[in-house]
Structure 1
Amino acid sequence: MRGWKHLTWGVLGAAVVAGCASTTPRELLDARYAYQRASSGPAAQYSPDALAAARDALNQANRSFEHERDSERTRTLAYVALRKAQIAEALAGASVAQQERQQAEQQLAMSQASEAERTRQELEKARAELSEAQRLRAEAEQRQAQLSQQQQEAAQQQAAAQQADQARREEEARQAQLSEAQAKMDQLNAQLEQERQARLDAEKRAAEAQAEARAQAEVADALRNIRQVKVKEEPRGLVLTLSGSVLFRSGSSDLLPTARRRLDEVADALKKTQSPLVIEGHTDSKGPAEVNEELSYKRAESVRDYLVERGVDSSRIRTEGRGEAEPIASNKSPEGRANNRRVEIVIERGVGGAGEQQQQGGETGGSGTQPSPDQTQQPSPEQAPQPPPGP
């Protein structure tokens, strides 16, 4: 089919070119238009034979026009081609209409069948509902008869039940007296048990407090014997203060070799107790506060990591970066700033609370924040000269 379409359009093209030399008859133009419309419509599918006949007729008219120009024969052939194109289009329209009518009839038949099926189902449902209603009515009448019989039996049993109820009340009164006596006895036993348990708990707490006090005292004595470590008692616990100049270079969070030796001794002492630990980093006021806070946090983390390497349980420790917020000396002098640059390890009072305190304070604790890559490249805030380590 594609071949004859190319042939026809070739003939049409030749005819158009030829038409440039002379005037094309109106009949031939109409035939060409009629064929073009038919071939682009449903005729190509529904009336291909008629469309092929129209094509052949149009080709004859075009050839006649090429040889005879505007002759009577050309006009007659063009009219024949026009009519055949119209016939092909009409046949296709009739086929389309026939197909649509058949589809409509099929849809109507399906709709009628569906409606009939729905009606049948509704009728069956109504019959089932009627049968169920009749069954329920029969059951209700049967239950009513049974209820009447039960009421008669109940009336006969009521007198006997009253006598039994009187006996039951008398028995309940006796049972109530016995229950009251038993309750008083149980209450007394419970009070005795509570007192015994309270005494045992108090003895246990006293023993734990004594053991903790001995461990704290032993740790405090061990820590006081370490050079360059200051130990003092505060309400929050036993506080160890290590000078920043002993632990780190200015502006750095990497531990010095001398710091490792000091921390080895501190770790050995801390392992003697299971009390929670808080490691706080502090700086002086030189530089931006955000940078100081970051540096203090990183220093606290360095101390924590080293203590963990030396065997201190990491679950006991939380770290905080305090920055310049808690000075212990004036930041106006080099000596004061050197004292403010420090790391404090707080041994909190109370054994076994490290896990809970870390959950409350977060994994890292305090106001210290994880440093960003941009912050790690900022210059050190600590530019004051470091004094020599103290004893």
Structure 2
Amino acid sequence: MSRIYLDHAATTPVRDAALEAFVSQAKRNGNASALHSAGRSVKFHVEDARDRLAATLDADPTEILFTAGGTESDNLALKGLYWANRPNDVILATGIEHPAVIETLEWLEARENATVVFVDVTEEGFVDVGAFKAALEEYAGRIAVATLMWANNEIGTIQPVEQIAELCQAAGVDFHVDAVQAFGSLPITFAPGMTTMALSGHKIGAPVGIGALLVRRDAKPVPVLHGGGQEREIRSGTIADALILAFAAAAVEATQNLSEESTRLAGLRDQLIHAIQEHIPTAKLQGPADPNYRLPTNVHFSFAGAEGDSLLFGLDMAGIESSTGSACNAGVSRPSHVILATGQNESAARSTQRFSLGHTTTQEDIDAVIAALPGIYRAAAEAGMAAEKSSIRTANSHR
């Protein structure tokens, strides 16, 4: 049975161009920090890749620091800027951020006496810009860093990050942007007012293990890793040259036909959304109703009466690979923190299913999901109803 992969937000298949770049560079010997000919050759190829990646983001190459991925980039930015700006102790964020951000903030709160202030979001997941501005004013003189993801990894909401960047710049506050889900799906740039921005290679078709943190040239986050100081003395570690070249190749390919590919995927996304709404009227679309403010790759629903895990396993048995939310929380049965942060109840947060499209998604994939999902939902809902009745009987028997 051929399988249908609709979990591109977790990771997407490696692009041929990225794989070819990786293999070609991996055959070269040399450490980019070495001064001999082999080292200088590797360094040349790394800097060329840095230039090409920077060009896709309208950034200066010196602003790009290579990391092991989005999680490291978020940690380095948030911890580094918090430490750099102490004694300021306040961090502004929202409750819908990725676990790599949320758990870093919780660590800073528990271990470094940070005061984390969560700004409200709407039910569709948009940050309340007025509330964000009010928080900047209320905590003026105390804010170490503010952070906001460009696009939500679960419900696909595209945030007004450039507007928030302007507010932070006017307030003199360092601003970190998690752009892991946005890069390769939206036309993004390292805009004025942004201090740092996190990227991940495997979300756009590079191998796992490479990412980047863009750091404004006048910013100096305190390092989290110490050693050789290879990346502007902010990030240490031997240069992963083959992964870096693969990342650059994937970035160039993902962005060179971005408009056409986004239009193609948005069309497939909308077909799936409309079909689910038609065939399962009780399903609730999560995230923006307006498709212009939703990632072109994102379809996310809460399915009343069905556990998300039941839907996932039913789909998996039918050869369709989807997700209940962030892959970083996979294997842990708990409600979506994103749905809860939008003010919805635990039932909605436990009944979620995310279908995320990518560069390998076809019309046939979407047609197959549309054909299979209604029956899978009915089975999951019936199982949920039976489990609820059994629970009630058990509770009554113990009275």
Structure with bigger RCO (C-alpha 8 Å, 6+ apart): 2
Same fold, TM-score > 0.5, yes or no: no
* Greater per-residue strand proportion: 2
Larger Rg: 1
Give TM-score scaled by structure 2 length.
0.22
* Greater per-residue helix proportion: 1
Give TM-score scaled by structure 1 length.
0.22
